[in-house]
Structure 1
C-alpha cells in the first residue's frame, strides 16, 4: 500500500478509521432510553383534572341549560342541578388523576405506553358512553348523559397524551 496524504499533513496507509461501509450492524447502536420527568407528568395530570372538572360543568350547562335535557338530576333542580353536578365534576377530576397514575405506570413499565394508554382511555370512555343506554332514562337523557361522558373522556385522553409527550425525554 502506498502512503496517502491526510488533510492533517500526516501520511496514512489506506486505513479508514471511523468510516462505515453499509448499514450499521444490529445491536451496535443503543436505542435511546426514555426518561420520565414525573414532576411534569403530575403537574400536567393536575391541570388535566382541573380541565376535566370544568369540562363536566360546561357540558352540563350546555345539555341542561341550552338543550333543556334533564341529565344527572331531576328536571326541577334547575340549570346547575343538585349535588350531582359537583359529584360529576369531582368524578371527572378523580378520573383524570387515576388516568395520570395509569400513564405513569405504563411509561415506566411497558413498551409503547402511548398505545396502551390510548386503548385503555378509549375503552373506558366507550364504557361510560354506553352506560346510560342500559338505564330506563328517556332517549334525550341517555344521549345527553352519553355526550357529557364522551366530552370528558376526550378531554382527559387528549390532554394526558400531550402531557406524556412533554414529560418523556429520550437520551
Structure 2
C-alpha cells in the first residue's frame, strides 16, 4: 500500500480493496476558529479611545508651549480645534476596535491586516496637515500629533485584540 498525502492508494491485496474497492473514510481535521471575548476587546478599545484623546490634548499643549502657538481667543487647553482633534482621535480608536473585531471573526491572520489598515490610515492622517495652509511649524506639529495618535491606536487596539482572542478547534459540519 502506498500513502499519498492523507489518502491511501491500496494495492490489489489491501484490506480496503475488497468489496466495492472503496477507500476508508477520510476524516477531515477540525477547522480552526477564533474565539473573541468581545467585552475584553471593547473595554480595551474604550481605553484606547481615552488615551488617543489625551494624546491629542497633550500634543496641543506641548506644541503651544514649545512653539508659542497660542491664539488670543483660545484658553490654556486650546480652542474648538483641540476639542475636535480629541473627539476625532477617540472615534478613530473606537472605529479601529470595530475593524479589529470584524477582522478577528472573519479573516485569516487578522492582526496582519489590522496593522496594514491602521498603518495606511496613519500615513494618510500625517499627510493631511500638509494639504492645508498655515505655517510650516503648525503643520509639522499637527502631523507629529497625528502620527503619535495613530501609533498609539494601532498598538493599543492590536494588543487588546490579541488579548481578547484565542484559536479553538471548531466542529466539522
For structure 2, which runs of at least 5 residues remain unmatched after alignment?
8-26, 169-173
Instruction: Tell me the distance in 2 between the aligned counterparts of 1:48 and 1:25.
Output: 46
TM-score normalised by structure 1 residue count: 0.77
Q: Helix, strand or coil for the counterpart of 2:55? A: helix
Instruction: Tell me the distance in 1 between the aligned counterparts of 2:119 and 2:152.
Output: 11
* Worse overlay, 31-40 or 114-123: 31-40
**Structure 2 residue 158 is matched with structure 1 residue 161:** yes
Q: Helix, strand or coil for the counterpart of 2:65? A: helix
Instruction: Tell me the distance in 2 between the aligned counterparts of 1:56 and 1:25.
Output: 56
CA RMSD of superposed structures (Å): 2.1
Shift of 1:33: 2.6
Shift of 1:170: 1.8
Instruction: Tell me the distance in 2 between the aligned counterparts of 1:149 and 1:165.
Output: 24
Q: Tell me the equivalent position of 1:129.
A: 126
- Runs of 4+ aligned structure 1 residues displaced above 2 Å come to 24-33, 66-70, 74-79
Q: Tell me the equivalent position of 1:139.
A: 136
Instruction: Tell me the distance in 1 between the aligned counterparts of 2:76 and 2:64.
Output: 6
Shift of 1:68: 2.3
Shift of 1:159: 0.3
Instruction: Tell me the distance in 1 between the aligned counterparts of 2:112 and 2:29.
Output: 25
**Structure 2 residue 89 is matched with structure 1 residue 88:** no
Deviation string 1:18-62 (CA, Å, 9 cap, x unpaired) is xxxxxx959865464321111111111011111111111111111
Q: Tell me the equivalent position of 2:117.
A: 120
The answer to whether the 8 A contact 1:69-1:144 is kept is: no
For structure 1, which runs of at least 5 residues remain unmatched after alignment?
1-23
* Worse overlay, 59-68 or 100-109: 59-68
Q: Tell me the equivalent position of 1:45.
A: 45
TM-score normalised by structure 2 residue count: 0.76
- Number of matched pairs: 145
Q: Tell me the equivalent position of 1:34.
A: 34
Instruction: Tell me the distance in 2 between the aligned counterparts of 1:25 and 1:57.
Output: 59
Q: Helix, strand or coil for the counterpart of 2:78? A: coil
Instruction: Tell me the distance in 1 between the aligned counterparts of 2:76 and 2:144.
Output: 17
